[in-house]
Amino acid sequence: MQLSHHYATDLTETVSAVTPQPLSDLTLCLTNTALAEQFNLPTDWFTDQGIIEQIFSEQGALGKQAVAQKYGGHQFGQWNPYLGDGRGLLLGEVTDDKGAQFDLHLKGAGQTPYSRHADGRAVLRSTLREYIGSEALHHLGIPSSRSLCMFTSNERVYRELPEPGAMMIRMAPSHLRFGHFEYYFHSKEFDILDKLMDFTLTRHFPDCASQAEPHKALLKAITLRTARMVALWQVHGFVHGVMNTDNMSIHGITFDYGPYAFMEQFKSDAVFNHSDHEGRYAFDRQPGIALWNLNAMAYAFSRYMSIDDIKDCLTQFEPAFLAVYRQTMLARIGLDNDKEHEACLNQWLAMLAQNPIDYTQSFRWLASTDHDALTPALRDHFIDRNAFDGWWQDYRQRRQSSTESQASMLARNPAVIARTHTLQQAIAAAEQGDFSIAKQLLLALQTPYQSTTASEPFEQPDDSSETVSLSCSS
C-alpha cells in the first residue's frame, strides 16, 4: 500500500494542515473489507485500535499530512464563498492494482479553519446513513463515493439534541467539487485556478489532457458524467436532497449524503429535506438543478474557452441524460430501447403516480409477472382497473417483440434498497451499541437484485402513510 499526498503537496495554496482530533472512546464499528482488500490496505489497520492509531497517534501514517480543502459553493442557489472542509480531512491517496487512485477522507475529525464556528463533528445518525447509502448506490450501479470504515464514540455531539458522535473514512477518485473551481474563479485567484485545472487534467482526466482542447474536453466529460449519474438517480427514485454545488463531484459520483431518500410511493415532486421549503431539490427538479450547477461551475472555464464552446458542452447534458434514462427505464419494464415505447413507459409511471403502491416494488412485481397472462395478479394493485387493462394489452404486444428476457428484467429491478425506515431501525439499534441491523442491511444491499431470506426484512416499504422529512444536520 502506497500512501501519497499529491493534492496536498501540488496544491498547497488550496489546503490547510489540520491535526485530526479524536472523539473519546473511539471504537471501529464497521469495516468494508472488500474495499480495503481492493486497495491492499494493511489488515492490521482493521483490528482492535489499528486504524485509530494510524490516524490519531504521533507515529500514525494517516494523520501526518491531513489537510482541509478550501472551496465555495452555491447553496440553494446563493453563492457562498465561506465554505470548505469544515469537518472533513483529506488523509491521502491510495492506488489499487489497476492503477485507480482514490482519496482517503475522514469525516467528523474536529474543527478546521473552514468550520465557521461549528464543532467539526458528525453524529452517528448521519454518518451511518452516509455509510449505508453510498454502498447501496454503488451496488445498484449508481456512481458514488465509497465507505471504508466507521467509528462510534461515547462522546455526545450537540445538534438539536445531544447525539452520539461518530466518524467515517470515505473513498472517492478525488474530493474535487464544482465549488472548488467556482471559488478560485470568483475570488480572482487565477494562478491557483490554473494549477487546479492542470492538476485535474493531469491526475484525474488524462484522456482530456491529451486532446487538442483539454479544457473543453474536461467540461464535456464532467457534463456527461453528471448527466449519467442523475439519470440513474431518476431511474431508481433516489432523491439527493441538497444539490448545492459544493456537494457536486466533478467525477459524476453521488457525493455528500445528507437528507437523501429513495421514494416509496411515486411522487414526481417528492421532497425529503425539511430545510428545502421551496422544493428546489425535489425529485423532478434534479436534472434541471444538475444543469444549473454545471452552468455555475462553467464560469470558471471561461478563462480557457469561448462562451460558444462552453454552451456546446452544456447542451450535451440533456440528450445524454435522456439517452441513459430512456434506455435504462425501458429495460426495467422489459422493452427494447426504441423511442416508440416511451408512451408505454410514461403511462406506466402515470399509473404509479395515481396509485398508493411502492415505486421499487412495482417494478419488481412487473418483472416477476407472467407476461402471457390476460389478467395478471399485478392488476389488483391498481385502483383504476380499466386503465391498467388498457395499458396491459398494449404492453403485452410490445413485450412479444422485445429481446429483453424476464431474467434481465429481474437483474435491473432491485428487491432491496436503502429505505428510510430500515435505515432508522439500523440507527436506533446502533445508538444502543448494536450494529447487527446495520451489518445485515449492508449485506443485503451488496446484492440488491436478488431476493434472499437475508434481504426479506428490508424489502418491504414503510407501512406508515406519513411524509418523511429529513434533516441536513449532521
By annotation, the residues acting in catalysis are 246
- Residue 124 phi, psi dihedral angles, 5° rounding: -60, -40
- Cell 458542452 found at: 313
Locate all alpha helices (DSSP H) within 44-148, ordered by sequence.
50-56, 124-140
CA distance 381 to 290: 34
Q: How far apart (Å, rounded) are the C-alpha atoms in residues 461 and 422?
A: 9
What residues contact residue 207 under an 8 Å CB cut-off, 6+ apart?
217, 221
Instruction: Dig out the grid coordinates for 411 from the structure.
Output: 437483474
CB 151 within 8 A of CB 27: yes
Q: SS3 breakdown of the chain: % helix, strand, coil, rounded to 5? A: 45, 15, 40
**Residue 308: C-alpha distances to residues 28, 64, 318 (Å):** 51, 45, 17
120 is in an annotated binding site: yes
| 170 annotated as belonging to a binding site for a ligand | yes
List of residues 6+ apart from 263 with CB closer than 8 A: 237, 238, 239, 270, 283, 359
Helix/strand/coil for 208: helix
87 is in an annotated binding site: yes
Sequence length of the chain is 474
- CA–CA distance from 392 to each of 117, 375, 395 (Å)? 58, 8, 5
**251 neighbors 172 (Cβ within 8 angstroms):** yes
Give the separation between CA 64 and CA 41, rounded to whole angstroms.
17
Q: Identify the residue whose cell numbers are 435505515.
A: 423
**C-alpha pair distances (Å), 253 with each of 95, 134, 226, 248, 354:** 18, 10, 7, 8, 32
User: How many Å apart are CA 449 and CA 332, to the nearest integer?
Assistant: 12
**Is 84 among the annotated ligand-binding positions?**
yes
Helix (H, G, I), strand (E, B) or coil at 78: strand
Q: Could you give the 3-state DSSP secondary structure of residue 75?
A: strand
Which three-class secondary structure state does DSSP give residue 164?
strand
107 is in an annotated binding site: yes
Which residue ranges make up the annotated binding site?
A: 84, 86-87, 107, 119-120, 170, 177, 247, 256
Which residue ranges make up the annotated binding site for ATP?
A: 84, 86-87, 107, 119-120, 170, 177, 256
Which residue ranges make up the annotated binding site for Mg(2+)?
A: 247, 256
